Amino acid sequence: MRRQLASATERFPIAGSFTISRGSKTEALVVTCRITEGGHTGSGECVPYPRYGESVDSVLSEIEAARPTIEAGIGRAELGRTMRAGAARNALDCALWDLEAKRAGTPAWRQICADEPQPLVTAYTISLGEPEAMAAQTALHAHRALLKVKVGTADDASRIRAVRAAAPDAPIILDANEGWTEETLARHLAICAEAGIALVEQPLPAGRDDALRHVERTVLVCADESVHLGADLAALTDRYDAINIKLDKAGGLTEALSMRDEARRLGLKVMVGCMVGSSLAMAPAVLLAQGADFVDLDGPLLLAQDREPALRYEGSLVFPPKASLWG
């Protein structure tokens, strides 16, 4: 039976709003792909990201352009050679992984993980705001095993100190989303060290991060916007201590697995992160994140309503997906 490809746009309201240094949003707008063959259907979800020049329309256009080769039976390796990395390829790649698992009747984790996957501690994100508001939000989640705090303003000292005071014992990741400058970098890193911050993500804009070569990195610094593919990694080792792998940046689980292995070979720590999406987008990332140094897969926790079936979350733990969701 010939393959059939279907794609759709779905909206998931965010509980409240989600704010980073580049702006706020109140819903997760995702694109879902479903590939059906031989009575089995594989599913994948992506989140178009304007920072990388993507929109829902552009991603749907890329998926539609790939339809002839997908329906002709293209595999994941060829998909990686014929489509650019990004959200569209991610949805298709993950749908192919899911389809392969369902056709074989074998869980996807058996191809991906050395051992049966286990629950993981995931970060929980605190949105950017005024220091008092961030402290109040942090206090509500101070019991969690890992917090990720959005910063990225000209003066984040008060924010860093406020969230640390609100959660004196919690491990904290800071994500500046390219919001710091060469002039503020050293001071902010010093304050991070003072506050016992575990990791700082992407303090400087991608392509303008040379200052990280020369500043004393008293806190682990992680590349996010500066890294998309495995080919990017070797050039980053003099500026970064870790990388954030996201399926939407890498263009799917296939490339992301190669990135993870290459990062480990180069001595870089691995963080597995996400855009704000539903459980379908997180499911393959949970398998990728087995053994990662940091995990940030809290997208569904930020939603007012997730899809069904959903991933299982208990406190700070996210559990591996069941086959009814993905894989």
The angle at the Cα of 308, spanning 41 to 318, to the nearest 5 degrees, equals 100
Which one of 25, 150, 249, 322 is the catalytic residue? 150
| Residue 102 annotated among the catalytic residues of the structure | no
Q: Is 78 helix (H, G, I), strand (E, B) or coil?
A: helix
Contact of 200 with 179, CB cutoff 8 Å: no
Q: How many CA atoms lie within 13 A of 66 on its CB side?
A: 29
Q: Is 32 helix (H, G, I), strand (E, B) or coil?
A: strand
Identity at 240, one-letter amino acid code: Y
Specify the pairing of strand 172-175 against strand 220-223: unpaired
Contact of 183 with 304, CB cutoff 8 Å: no
Residue with tokens 């569209």: 88
Token code pair at residue 245: 């792998």
Nearest to 142 by CA among 129, 160, 128, 124: 124
Beta strands in 151-210 (DSSP E): 172-175, 199-201
Q: Is 10 helix (H, G, I), strand (E, B) or coil?
A: strand
Which one of 25, 102, 148, 246 is the catalytic residue? 246
Nearest to 220 by CA among 206, 200, 192, 194: 200
What's phi and psi for 126, nearest 5 deg?
-105, 120
| Residue 269 annotated among the catalytic residues of the structure | no
Identity at 277, one-letter amino acid code: G
The helix (H) or strand (E) run that includes residue 67 is helix 56-71
Residues belonging to the active site: 150, 246
